[in-house]
Amino acid sequence: MNQRTYRVAVLGGDGIGPEVTDAALEVVRAAGVAIQTTPYELGAARYLADGFVLDDATLEELRGYDAILLGAIGPAIGDTRIPGGVLERGLLLRIRFGLDLYINYRPFRGVTGSLAEGCEFAIVRENTEGPYAGEGGVLRHGTPHEVATQGSVNTRFGVERCVRYAFERAAKLSRPKLTLVHKTNVLTFSGELWVRVVREVGAEYPNVVVDYNHVDAACIYLVESPERYGVIVTDNLFGDILSDLAGAVTGGIGFAASANLNPERASASMFEPVHGAAHDIAGTGKANPLAAVSSAVLMLEHLGETEAASAMAIAVREFHGDVAALGTAGVTNQLIERL
Ligand code: IPM
Ligand code: MN
């Protein structure tokens, strides 16, 4: 049999990051997908060791892989040695922007006992614009006349490609529905652009029911009636905030997976659990690997390994064990047995 071997860059990162990416890779191999991994030591530990965050050459190297699997990046809570933004802007966002990973796709499924038990929906977050673009600056810093501005970039091109991707996803649902989330009553300039693009692109998808929520209302609905959602499409910052809330109502961000995608495959896409580095439990074997495994499912879907991806997704879905009792290795082994 002529099986393809995928080249995957592994950025385990900090805290529990390396443990959960190792677990995810074990499950991928058990699912029968051949991967050749290249580790990259990037993140808080690396920065503290030698000051390196990311350079152009490494970014270009990353571009050429079949996929990038990321664990978690960041120092321990309370560790103030790294100024805010150094790793966020210098590493994570530099990869997202530099590789033009313009979609952040975050699927959610309410686990047993969660507020959103049984509900399935996804957030399609624009991943290269909005307030994350970094427009703004500071004048007269530290004086009584200090000025700080922080803009939001919304281009017709960027909004349209994001909305189009969201409609494609929504159209595949058994009950096709797309909800635009914004704050059009206050952010009237960007809001009007998003609304108009959703209306125009939506005309090409007559089967998709289109809805709109203000972001504050969406925070209520996600808690009170999450079953109303199919695909939520929204800007970079709203998507960031809503996806943490969505994680909380569906069982905790220990389960939440994400894909930073360049759908045209112009560069490697990057797959990462939504959760952080959880330094407090690093090395104790207690980390929940399910979000990393689910991120690897998204990676296999993107690579076209649909059979292995759905087998892994079913193993995750049918896992009902006690994560705290089983620990990382126990959960991983149960998933592998199920495969
Ligand atoms: C996320 C994270 C990042 C973001 C941070 C770490 C820059 O919160 O992936 O949701 O804001 O996008
Ligand atoms: Mn976030």
Q: What is the chain's pLDDT, residue by residue, as a tens digit (339 residues)?
A: 458 999 999 999 999 999 999 999 999 999 999 999 999 999 999 999 999 999 999 999 999 999 999 999 999 999 999 999 999 999 999 999 999 999 999 999 999 999 999 999 999 999 999 999 999 999 999 999 999 999 999 999 999 999 999 999 999 999 999 999 999 999 999 999 999 999 999 999 999 999 999 999 999 999 999 999 999 999 999 999 999 999 999 998 889 999 999 999 999 999 999 999 999 999 999 999 999 999 999 999 999 999 999 999 999 999 989 999 999 999 999 999 999
Locate the ligand 1 atom nearest the alpha carbon of residue 244 and give its number: 10
Position 299, amino acid: M
Q: Is 216 an active-site residue?
A: yes
Q: What is the CATH number of domain 1-101+262-339?
A: 3.40.718.10
The model's pTM is 0.96
Position 217, amino acid: A
Sign for the pseudo-dihedral over CA of 228, 232, 73, 291? positive
Domain residue ranges of the chain, discontinuous segments joined by +: 1-101+262-339, 131-247
Residues lining ion ligand 2 (Cβ < 5 A) are 240
Contacts of 214 (CB under 8 A, 6+ apart): 181, 182, 183, 184, 185
According to the model, what pLDDT value does residue 298 have? 98
Which residue matches tokens 């933004």?
85
Contacts of 21 (CB under 8 A, 6+ apart): 10, 11, 12, 69, 70, 71, 292
Q: Is 240 an active-site residue?
A: yes
Is 108 in a helix, a strand, or coil? strand
According to the model, what pLDDT value does residue 254 have? 86
According to the model, what pLDDT value does residue 323 have? 92
Q: Is 165 an active-site residue?
A: no
According to the model, what pLDDT value does residue 273 have? 96
The answer, yes or no, to whether any atom of ligand 1 lies below 6 A from the CB of 92, is yes
Q: Is 6 an active-site residue?
A: no
Which residue matches tokens 């390196």?
52
According to the model, what pLDDT value does residue 2 have? 58
The answer, yes or no, to whether any atom of ligand 1 lies below 6 A from the CB of 88, is yes
Confirm if 302 and 326 have CB atoms less than 8 A apart: no
Give Rg (Cα) of the chain.
20
Locate the ligand 1 atom nearest the alpha carbon of residue 272 and give its number: 9
d(C-alpha 208, C-alpha 170), whole Å: 7
Distance 206 CA to ligand 2 centre (A): 32
Q: Which of 65, 102, 132, 229 is catalytic?
A: 132
CA atoms within 13 A on the CB side of 129: 19
d(C-alpha 131, C-alpha 30), whole Å: 41
The answer, yes or no, to whether any atom of ligand 1 lies below 6 A from the CB of 240, is yes
According to the model, what pLDDT value does residue 309 have? 98
According to the model, what pLDDT value does residue 227 have? 98
CATH 3.40.50 fits 131-247, yes or no: yes
pLDDT digits (tens, 9 = 90+) for 175-228: 999 999 999 999 999 999 999 999 999 999 999 999 999 999 999 999 999 999
pLDDT digits (tens, 9 = 90+) for 144-156: 999 999 999 999 9
Q: Which of 6, 183, 229, 235 is catalytic?
A: 183
Distance 240 CA to ligand 2 centre (A): 5
Contacts of 126 (CB under 8 A, 6+ apart): 102, 103, 104, 158, 159, 162, 233, 234, 235, 236, 239
Distance 240 CA to ligand 1 centre (A): 6
Which residue's C-alpha comes closest to atom 4 of ligand 1? 240
Locate the ligand 1 atom nearest the alpha carbon of residue 240 and give its number: 10
Q: Is 132 an active-site residue?
A: yes
